[in-house]
Amino acid sequence: MAKNGAIKLVAGNSNPVLTREIGEYLQTPMTKAVVRRFADMEIFVEIQENVRGADVFVIQSTSFPANDHLMELLIITDALRRASARRITAVIPYFGYSRQDRKPGPRTPISAKLVANLITHAGANRVMTLDLHAGQIQGFFDIPTDNLYASPVMVRDIKERFDLEKLMVVSPDVGGVVRARGLAKRINAPLAIIDKRRERAGESEVMNVIGEPRGHVCILVDDIVDSGGTLVNAADALLEQGATEVYAYISHGVLSGGAVPRITGSRLKELVITDSIQPTEAVKNAPNIRVLPIAQLIGEAIGRTASEESVSSLFD
Ligand code: R5P
């Protein structure tokens, strides 16, 4: 335990509701800090309490507007380092830029690695995040990085709401099979995979369903819903193959552009997301989108990190 009190929680502006709930879970008030803008939109941070020798957790999702929220995280971390915090953990419930984890072509960046470098160089000693787009991104950091999973929260919800006998878990693309298989195992359900293919350039994508969804209530599992296109097309493909209903459990509701009307106007019975990204009013008012709170899980992981207890056992 740090000499200077137990733990300190510092919040960026990305997700005030989640931050407040994490503070309530840990019975720890937010450290007084000012994060504001100059007239030209430069960010200014002032930590208004002594953090010398403290174990500090900075909570900030690098969600929309991603660049502003990332800069806030970096500048808060710099301020804490210069104020002699003993240990700084960047708690990033949604790690933006994670989809840029490889070079898609010549002369392109690996932005996820650049962001990992920036966070480390700003002064973070540890990182805690949730359902990374790809597990290997952990290796982009040379500091301890805990990748938490929303699956216990999702599994609890699924067990409360569904007749497990009828369920089938579906990965909406080949890249998400490991994640979907993990959830299917936890609820003892069969697994199907959607294989998207464009047979010829200029022709529309064909959705091949590998598995037999006929007669099943299908649950699509993925890390991110952004435009919603993947989910809406997957739901159509599954219903055409005889699925009775299609739901989706997705960790991060990026939901940019026209995603919300696309989801509400779709044949998806319900989209369930976590609040790793603060839901907009449109998301909150959407009749077929529901938000599962993730604060307890993150709060528990923070508490365990502070007291040097196992975090992985949260997911056994
Ligand atoms: C991609 O690899 C991700 O796992 C998601 O499938 C993707 O980001 C979803 O994007 P959208 O909702 O725009 O189809």
With a 6 A CB cut-off, is 223 part of the ligand 1 pocket? yes
> In whole angstroms, how far apart are CA 123 and each of 70, 78, 232?
14, 6, 41
Ligand 1 center–CA 95 separation, angstroms: 14
Burial of 236 from C-beta contacts in 10 A (0-12 / 13-18 / 19+): middle
| 8 tagged catalytic | no
> Residues 124-174: pLDDT tens digits?
999 999 999 999 999 999 999 999 999 999 999 999 999 999 999 999 999
Q: CA torsion angle for 85, 45, 48, 93 (degrees, to 10)?
A: -60
Residue 1's pLDDT band, with cuts at 50, 70 and 90, is: very low
Which residues, 6 or more positions from 94, have their beta carbon under 8 angstroms from its beta carbon?
61, 62, 63, 129, 130, 252, 254, 276, 277
With a 6 A CB cut-off, is 100 part of the ligand 1 pocket? no
With a 6 A CB cut-off, is 218 part of the ligand 1 pocket? no
With a 6 A CB cut-off, is 93 part of the ligand 1 pocket? no
With a 6 A CB cut-off, is 229 part of the ligand 1 pocket? yes
Domains plus CATH for the chain?
8-148+295-315 (3.40.50.2020), 151-292 (3.40.50.2020)
Choice among 103, 196, 269, 284 that is catalytic: 196
Residue 6: pLDDT above 90?
no
Question: What does DSSP say about strands 33-37 and 43-47: parallel, antiparallel, or unpaired?
Answer: antiparallel
> Residues 281-307: pLDDT tens digits?
999 999 999 999 999 999 999 999 999
> Residues 208-228: pLDDT tens digits?
999 999 999 999 999 999 999
The ligand 1 atom at the shortest distance from the C-alpha of residue 229 is: 14
Ligand 1 center–CA 231 separation, angstroms: 8
